[in-house]
Chain A
Amino acid sequence: MESTVPVLEVQDVAKTFDGVVRALDGVSIAVYQGEIVGVVGENGAGKSTLMKILAGVYAPDRGALFLGGKKVPFPRNPKEAARWGISIVYQERGVIPHLRVYEFLFLGHEEKYRGPFGLRRVEMRKEARAILDEFHVACDTESFMYELPLATQKMVEIARAVLGIRLESEGRAVAPVIILDEPTAPLTLEERKDLFASILRMKGRASFIFVSHIIPEIMEFVDRVYVLRDGKLVAHYDFSKDVVTEEDLFRAIVGRESLAYALGAEESTATSEIVLQAEGLTRNGAYYDVSFVLHRGECLGLFGPAGSGKSEVVRTLAGILSFDGGRLRVKGQEVHSHEPPYIRLTRGIGYCSGESGRELFFQWSIAKNISIVNLEKVLYPHLPVIRFRREETMAKSIAEKLGIKAPSVHTDCYSLSGGNKQKVSMGKWLERSPDILLLEDPTIGIDVGAREDIYRVLFEMKRRGIALVLASDDPKEYALLCDRILVMRKGRVERTVEAKEFREMAVV
């Protein structure tokens, strides 16, 4: 880097929420002029807290901020952050579809363009054109935002962030630092490439902090990377000096020492009966030509970095997304592409997500949450009436089996801890016992003890003959649970790995 003084540096930042949850603990990072710096970590590692502190959304408990070598107080709101040269581009919902490009570029900064007859649009358009040219964004200033391709929308958002800094700093020379919060999340694989090319062209004009958990993107694209885990800085790699492999980065991101792998991998319960068969399954922009078979009692892992298409495949199987090509057979029956989740469930495919907001009805009791997918079991025979006694005993047995800690099964799910919420959603699927259960990040954000309990449940499901499909971020989870693993990359299946082989790979 040409300059030795970083344009932005934070030292020893700490932030605690509600006096207990330690989100950040002594983190220091630096950004130099014209650099793209990656900040990676799992969900809950503290990366978004750090970015929100930089953008003026949160105030840190302690720490220092240096801009161009000068110590300054932390910004108190996004406007102040912009005045000092820091701006953030959010992951989603940042774009306002029905505004024209130039309107969107200046949104929130119209003061300068207020004339006696309303906004001075001619001038706005001209300046918008200038700034779009400067950032090599090819689009018409008169187009509506929704007419642009998603990657171009992102580019306009980035240009808008830089523009906001310029307008707010009022002519003082500030070096803009743009925070990109998982910018590729809504994009297809093709669009991501476009976005990267454009960002690389903008490097001279601004520095970027690139927040992501998609490892190949980070490797390809950033100059240096900081790895956060549990609110601490655990690693820092400079790709121009250090030799780093994807595996190294992966281990730095995930590597929990304490994880209970005392649980040995169990005997395979897979049978030869095929319950699910995919042939050349394709969803344009997400994944291509995915083929596999799934046997009863087997656990199939879809392994790969985020953005590899694994969660899209799982969601397609669940009926949340449709597919554009290929065939899908469930228990020998051909399945239609646009079937909603309830039809898939009648075919025997359940979907369990680690996001409890997508699984649970928080204002309901544990018992009701468990019975919502098991209503047939609690009804009277030939009479659609719920037997509350049956519902209660069912919930009690599940709560006991999974060790759900709650005063009673009539406790509202609101008040449960994250791990217990996850056990409730796992428990309802255990009771339901569908032929196939799709798991997306089943243990995300929960503590070690609860993880162990959930793995036990999953083993029991396998013994009962449920076929599992797993998509997760934790390689050890695959090593523990899966019988076969499809390694996915950029939307395609690279190879299929047997469990034993994968275990040797992952343990190293």
Chain B
Amino acid sequence: MRFRRFLAPFIANPVLLVLVGLVVLFSLLYPQRFLTGLNLTTILKQFVTLTLFALGPSMVVVMGSLDLSYVGIWMLGGILVWLLAPTLGPWAILIFPLLGLGTGLFIGVIHAKGKMPSFILTLCLLVVYWGLTAILSRGYSRAVKGYEFITAPLVPYIPTAFLWSLPLIGGAVYLMARTRIGLYLYAIGSNEEGAQLAGIPVTKYKIIAFALSGLFTGLGTIILFQHLGGSVPVELNLKNVVWPLVAIVLGGTPLVGGSGGPQRTIIGALTFSVFYRGLYLSLLHPEILQLLVGVLLIVSIIVGARGIKGVEIT
């Protein structure tokens, strides 16, 4: 009986088993290198990056839609901070949440009212932001000084960005697990027509979901901006777009919606970070690494995104 209770979370979240398995495997494979403070710090850093990108979108995925705009918000926001920092001073960093919220609202309205598939809509928007970033920065990566305090070390071995991200993670988990908004998003993801029949204003909550996703991404990018070096690249790196998706799906939020959520995404992000770090230690080719990540994405999607029986997929 005690044993079964101990097992229950693993049965509910099989990815936890994978996580434990990976940690054990890599600790055995690289006894000298894996369980070192430096390595664990690196894993945590990777975890922060993935989590902060994936936190907002995972709320949208719960609803059965997709939001790929996060990297765009990060890039464009970074350049806007660079542009506005001379006039606004340190307050310029607040451009991130504002941009995120605005983007989310825009996506929500176009998706919910115009009935455009969210995947393609947010992809287009991502490209638009990328272009704007390149135009505004005139083609150079621009560093902004003055926000180093965000990542200034506080506790040994634990990245400060991780500490900063804890309230954000808590907020997202709380929002989805405890409040009415979260409940409605699960309902819409599970059965949109049923939610409509139950009297939920579906269009409104779809817009709210995208706005929240944008807002959380915006807040997260405040931390990420400094965490990832205090500047943003001008070129879009597809891995930044795809890895958070892997974290979401790997954590156990199926793309058809209705279950999972931010609390699962954290586990997914941690598992992915451990997996990646372990592969990295194995000194494989970086190209092979990318290949393996792609395969991991496909496999996790096949497991997580398979259509429910009776629902036609396209």
- So, do A and B actually touch in the complex, CB under 8 Å? yes
A residues contacting B by CB (< 8 A) are 78-79, 90, 93-99, 103, 107-108, 110, 114, 117-119, 121
Instruction: Specify which chain B residues have a CB less than 8 angstroms from the CB of A95 in the assembled complex.
Output: 191, 194
The 5 closest A-B pairs by CB, nearest first: A118-B178, A98-B258, A98-B190, A108-B199, A96-B191
Q: How far is the CB of A158 from chain B (nearest CB, A)?
A: 14
Whether B258 and A97, one on each chain, are in contact in the complex, defined by CB atoms closer than 8 angstroms, is yes
In the complex, identify which listed stretch (B96-104, B108-116, B179-187) lies at the interface while the others stay far away. Answer: B179-187
Q: How far is the CB of A162 from chain B (nearest CB, A)?
A: 14
Instruction: Specify which chain A residues have a CB less than 8 angstroms from the CB of B190 in the assembled complex.
Output: 96-99
- B193 within 8 Å of A by Cβ? yes
Interface majority SS on B: helix, strand, loop or mixed?
Answer: helix
- B259 within 8 Å of A by Cβ? yes
Whether A99 and B193, one on each chain, are in contact in the complex, defined by CB atoms closer than 8 angstroms, is no
Instruction: Specify which chain A residues have a CB less than 8 angstroms from the CB of B191 in the assembled complex.
Output: 93, 95-98
The CA-CA distance from A79 to B197 in the complex, in Å, is 11
Instruction: Specify which chain B residues have a CB less than 8 angstroms from the CB of A93 in the assembled complex.
Output: 191, 193-194, 197
- B78 within 8 Å of A by Cβ? no
- B189 within 8 Å of A by Cβ? yes
A-B contact pairs, 30 of them (CB 8 A): A78-B199, A79-B199, A93-B191, A93-B193, A93-B197, A94-B194, A94-B197, A96-B187, A96-B190, A96-B191, A96-B194, A96-B198, A97-B190, A98-B186, A98-B191, A98-B258, A99-B183, A99-B186, A99-B187, A99-B190, A103-B186, A107-B187, A108-B200, A110-B183, A117-B178, A118-B178, A119-B178, A119-B179, A119-B180, A119-B183
Whether B183 and A98, one on each chain, are in contact in the complex, defined by CB atoms closer than 8 angstroms, is no
The CA-CA distance from A117 to B187 in the complex, in Å, is 21
Considering the complex, give the chain A residue whose CB is closest to the CB of B254: A98
The CA-CA distance from A108 to B200 in the complex, in Å, is 6
* Chain B 19-78 interface residues, beta-carbon cutoff 8 Å to A: none
- B132 within 8 Å of A by Cβ? no
Beyond A97-B190, A117-B178, A119-B178, list 6 extra A-B contacts (CB 8 Å). A96-B191, A98-B189, A98-B259, A107-B183, A107-B187, A119-B180
The CA-CA distance from A110 to B177 in the complex, in Å, is 14
Q: Which of B177, B180, B194 has the most CB of A within 10 A?
A: B194
Instruction: Specify which chain A residues have a CB less than 8 angstroms from the CB of B195 in the assembled complex.
Output: 96, 107
The CA-CA distance from A78 to B196 in the complex, in Å, is 11
For the complex, count residues of B whose C-beta is within 8 A of A.
20
Q: Which of B178, B179, B190, B258 has the most CB of A within 10 A?
A: B190
Q: How far is the CB of A286 from chain B (nearest CB, A)?
A: 16
Q: A95-B191, A96-B187, A96-B191 are in contact. Are A90 and B197 (CB under 8 A)?
A: yes
- Once A and B bind, how many residue pairs between them come within 8 Å at the CB atom? 55
Considering the complex, give the chain B residue whose CB is closest to the CB of A110: B180
Instruction: Specify which chain A residues have a CB less than 8 angstroms from the CB of B258 in the assembled complex.
Output: 97-98
The CA-CA distance from A110 to B200 in the complex, in Å, is 11
Whether B180 and A114, one on each chain, are in contact in the complex, defined by CB atoms closer than 8 angstroms, is yes
Considering the complex, give the chain A residue whose CB is closest to the CB of B180: A110
The CA-CA distance from A98 to B186 in the complex, in Å, is 7
Instruction: Specify which chain A residues have a CB less than 8 angstroms from the CB of B183 in the assembled complex.
Output: 99, 103, 107, 110, 119
The CA-CA distance from A97 to B310 in the complex, in Å, is 14
The CA-CA distance from A121 to B179 in the complex, in Å, is 10
- B280 within 8 Å of A by Cβ? no
Q: How far is the CB of A185 from chain B (nearest CB, A)?
A: 15
- B174 within 8 Å of A by Cβ? yes
The CA-CA distance from A98 to B252 in the complex, in Å, is 14
Q: How far is the CB of A161 from chain B (nearest CB, A)?
A: 10
The CA-CA distance from A103 to B190 in the complex, in Å, is 13
The CA-CA distance from A276 to B67 in the complex, in Å, is 52
Instruction: Specify which chain A residues have a CB less than 8 angstroms from the CB of B198 in the assembled complex.
Output: 94, 96, 107-108
The CA-CA distance from A454 to B199 in the complex, in Å, is 42
The CA-CA distance from A14 to B142 in the complex, in Å, is 70
* Chain B 137-180 interface residues, beta-carbon cutoff 8 Å to A: 174, 177-180
Q: Which of A78, A93, A96 has the most CB of B within 10 A?
A: A96
Instruction: Specify which chain A residues have a CB less than 8 angstroms from the CB of B259 in the assembled complex.
Output: 98
Instruction: Specify which chain B residues have a CB less than 8 angstroms from the CB of A79 in the assembled complex.
Output: 199
Contact pick for A107, options B177, B189, B200, CB 8 Å? B200
Considering the complex, give the chain A residue whose CB is closest to the CB of B200: A108
Contact with A along B226-249 (1 / 0, CB 8 A): 000000000000000000000000
Instruction: Specify which chain B residues have a CB less than 8 angstroms from the CB of A78 in the assembled complex.
Output: 199
Q: How far is the CB of B79 from chain A (nearest CB, A)?
A: 37
Considering the complex, give the chain B residue whose CB is closest to the CB of A168: B199
The CA-CA distance from A55 to B161 in the complex, in Å, is 53
The CA-CA distance from A262 to B103 in the complex, in Å, is 68
The CA-CA distance from A119 to B178 in the complex, in Å, is 6
Q: How far is the CB of A188 from chain B (nearest CB, A)?
A: 16
The CA-CA distance from A364 to B195 in the complex, in Å, is 33
Q: Which of B186, B189, B197 has the most CB of A within 10 A?
A: B197
Q: How far is the CB of B213 from chain A (nearest CB, A)?
A: 19
Q: How far is the CB of B202 from chain A (nearest CB, A)?
A: 11
Contact with A along B203-227 (1 / 0, CB 8 A): 0000000000000000000000000
The CA-CA distance from A444 to B295 in the complex, in Å, is 51
Considering the complex, give the chain A residue whose CB is closest to the CB of B196: A93
The CA-CA distance from A99 to B193 in the complex, in Å, is 14
Instruction: Specify which chain A residues have a CB less than 8 angstroms from the CB of B193 in the assembled complex.
Output: 93
Instruction: Specify which chain A residues have a CB less than 8 angstroms from the CB of B186 in the assembled complex.
Output: 98-99, 103
Considering the complex, give the chain B residue whose CB is closest to the CB of A107: B198
The CA-CA distance from A62 to B191 in the complex, in Å, is 35
The CA-CA distance from A103 to B180 in the complex, in Å, is 10
Considering the complex, give the chain B residue whose CB is closest to the CB of A146: B190
Q: How far is the CB of A315 from chain B (nearest CB, A)?
A: 14
The CA-CA distance from A121 to B177 in the complex, in Å, is 10
Instruction: Specify which chain B residues have a CB less than 8 angstroms from the CB of A117 in the assembled complex.
Output: 178
Instruction: Specify which chain B residues have a CB less than 8 angstroms from the CB of A121 in the assembled complex.
Output: 178
Q: Which of A95, A103, A110, A118 has the most CB of B within 10 A?
A: A118
Whether B174 and A118, one on each chain, are in contact in the complex, defined by CB atoms closer than 8 angstroms, is yes
Instruction: Specify which chain B residues have a CB less than 8 angstroms from the CB of A98 in the assembled complex.
Output: 186-187, 189-191, 258-259
The CA-CA distance from A118 to B184 in the complex, in Å, is 13
Q: How far is the CB of B287 from chain A (nearest CB, A)?
A: 39
Instruction: Specify which chain B residues have a CB less than 8 angstroms from the CB of A114 in the assembled complex.
Output: 180
Q: How far is the CB of B16 from chain A (nearest CB, A)?
A: 20
The CA-CA distance from A161 to B190 in the complex, in Å, is 20
Considering the complex, give the chain B residue whose CB is closest to the CB of A111: B180
Instruction: Specify which chain A residues have a CB less than 8 angstroms from the CB of B200 in the assembled complex.
Output: 107-108
Q: How far is the CB of B58 from chain A (nearest CB, A)?
A: 15
The CA-CA distance from A107 to B202 in the complex, in Å, is 13
Instruction: Specify which chain B residues have a CB less than 8 angstroms from the CB of A119 in the assembled complex.
Output: 178-180, 183
Q: Which of A94, A103, A107, A114 has the most CB of B within 10 A?
A: A107
The CA-CA distance from A108 to B189 in the complex, in Å, is 15
Considering the complex, give the chain A residue whose CB is closest to the CB of B257: A98
The CA-CA distance from A9 to B104 in the complex, in Å, is 48
Whether B179 and A118, one on each chain, are in contact in the complex, defined by CB atoms closer than 8 angstroms, is yes
The CA-CA distance from A232 to B58 in the complex, in Å, is 52
Q: How far is the CB of A321 from chain B (nearest CB, A)?
A: 12
Instruction: Specify which chain B residues have a CB less than 8 angstroms from the CB of A90 in the assembled complex.
Output: 197
Instruction: Specify which chain A residues have a CB less than 8 angstroms from the CB of B199 in the assembled complex.
Output: 78-79, 108
The CA-CA distance from A117 to B177 in the complex, in Å, is 11
